[in-house]
Structures are given as structure tokens and as C-alpha cells.
């Protein structure tokens, strides 16, 4: 992923990319988790389950986010954002409100879902909530066996329930899980 490019290149790419999406709803689930529902013509977008979509977060900076859900017929796209720290992406997402418009790219990357796999264990922290939302619909629809494991800050412990998850376990973010 290119996380930075000159402003003129970004302007040119966005002008060639097509319509911007407008924010219908921007709600904080907790002070650090914000769910935004966008509206616009998404009929030409490709949606890779668990793929990364790029959002321009400043004149020269770009960040990847996972589309949590979409409805092409209604032109609706949803993303669950983790607002953490004082990074350029978090600051930008924190300022977004109903009526704002922005460009969101089609998703790309590797598919996180394979319908042939019948059992799924999914684990992550606040940054994985969008990915988990994108998977949940397909896991339920196709009758997979699945369980989500989330390591969340105390203030975010109820977010999975608020987002409609089932079959999940929440662990406190206290160093229990470490990458070695």
C-alpha cells in the first residue's frame, strides 16, 4: 500500500476515480470506535470480503480500512473505525460527520473468506472489528462453525455485542496475548 503520495497525484487519481460517497450516519459506539454509513453509487466497486479499501486522510496521506458491510442496490457502505492515538488517520476519521463526502477505493488484497472452509476461529483487537463484521454475514449465511476472540480495551468490551456479534469471547487488553 502506498501510504503517501504528492497532493497533485492524489487529486488526479480521485478525479479519475468517480463519485464520492456521502456520510449518512456517523455514530460513536465508544469514544474509540466509530461506525460510519456511507451512501453513493457503489455499483462499480468491487468488494473483496476482508479486503482493504483506501481512504485519503490528508492531502498526501492514505490509510487502509476494511468495509464492514455493503448493499449495492441501496448504495450503502459501512466501515467500523478504531480511533486510536493521534495519527493522521485517527484525527481525520474523528472529524467526519453526517453530510461529509469522500472517496473510498474498491477493496483489494487477499480474500479472508473461503466458502469451502467450514470452521473459522477469528481473533484480533479493535482494529479487526471491521474485518469481523465483513465475515460475520457470510459465516452465518453459509452456516459455518465460527468463533470470534477479541482482545479489547475495557471501554470497548461491549462493542461486539453492540455490532450484533454472536459466538464471541472478549479478553481484556492486558498483555495476555503477545506476538513472539
DSSP string for residues in 57-90: -SSSBEEEEEEEEEETTTTEEEEEEE--TT-HHH
pLDDT digits (tens, 9 = 90+) for 32-53: 999 999 999 999 888 888 888 9
With 60 as the cut, is the pLDDT of residue 116 above it?
yes
Q: Distance between CA atoms of 58 and 43, rounded to whole angstroms?
A: 26
Predicted confidence band at 2 (pLDDT cuts at 50, 70, 90)? low
- Residue 30 phi/psi, 5-degree rounding, is -140, 175
123 contacts 148 by C-beta, under 8 angstroms: yes
With 60 as the cut, is the pLDDT of residue 14 above it?
yes
With 80 as the cut, is the pLDDT of residue 156 above it?
yes
At 155, is the secondary structure helix, strand, or coil? helix
Higher pLDDT, 26 or 179: 26
Predicted confidence band at 177 (pLDDT cuts at 50, 70, 90)? low
Q: Where are the alpha helices (DSSP H) in the chain?
A: 7-17, 88-95, 129-141, 159-162
Q: Distance between CA atoms of 138 and 116, rounded to whole angstroms?
A: 12
pLDDT digits (tens, 9 = 90+) for 65-92: 999 999 999 999 999 999 988 889 999 9
Domain ranges of the chain: 7-108, 119-172
C-alpha dihedral sign at 150, 178, 92, 21 = negative
The lowest-confidence range among 14-18, 72-76, 141-145 is 14-18
DSSP state of 20: P
The CB density around residue 69, as the number of other CB atoms within 10 Å, is 17
With 70 as the cut, is the pLDDT of residue 137 above it?
yes
Give the architecture-level CATH label for domain 7-108: Beta Barrel (2.40)
pLDDT at 13: 73
pLDDT at 132: 96
Pairing of strands 119-124, 145-152: parallel
Q: Distance between CA atoms of 79 and 179, rounded to whole angstroms?
A: 27
Residues in the chain, total: 180
Q: Distance between CA atoms of 100 and 72, rounded to whole angstroms?
A: 20
What residues contact 146, with CB distance under 8 A and at least 6 apart? Answer: 119, 120, 121, 122, 135, 139, 167
Amino acid at each position: 500500500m502506498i501510504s503517501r503520495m504528492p497532493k497533485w497525484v492524489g487529486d488526479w487519481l480521485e478525479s479519475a476515480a468517480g463519485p464520492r460517497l456521502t456520510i449518512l450516519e456517523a455514530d460513536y459506539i465508544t469514544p474509540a470506535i466509530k461506525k460510519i454509513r456511507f451512501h453513493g453509487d457503489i455499483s462499480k466497486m468491487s468488494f473483496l470480503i476482508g479486503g482493504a479499501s483506501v481512504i485519503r486522510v490528508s492531502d498526501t496521506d492514505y490509510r487502509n480500512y476494511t468495509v464492514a458491510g455493503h448493499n449495492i442496490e441501496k448504495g450503502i457502505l459501512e466501515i467500523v473505525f478504531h480511533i486510536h492515538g493521534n495519527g493522521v488517520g485517527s484525527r481525520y476519521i474523528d472529524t467526519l460527520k453526517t453530510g461529509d463526502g469522500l472517496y473510498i477505493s474498491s477493496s483489494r488484497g487477499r480474500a479472508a473468506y473461503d466458502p469451502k472452509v467450514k470452521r473459522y476461529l477469528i481473533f484480533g483487537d479493535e482494529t479487526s472489528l471491521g474485518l469481523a463484521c465483513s465475515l460475520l454475514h457470510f459465516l452465518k449465511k453459509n452456516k459455518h462453525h465460527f468463533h470470534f476472540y477479541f482482545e479489547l480495551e475495557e471501554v470497548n468490551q461491549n462493542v461486539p455485542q453492540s455490532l450484533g456479534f454472536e459466538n464471541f469471547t472478549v479478553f481484556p487488553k492486558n498483555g495476555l496475548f503477545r506476538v513472539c
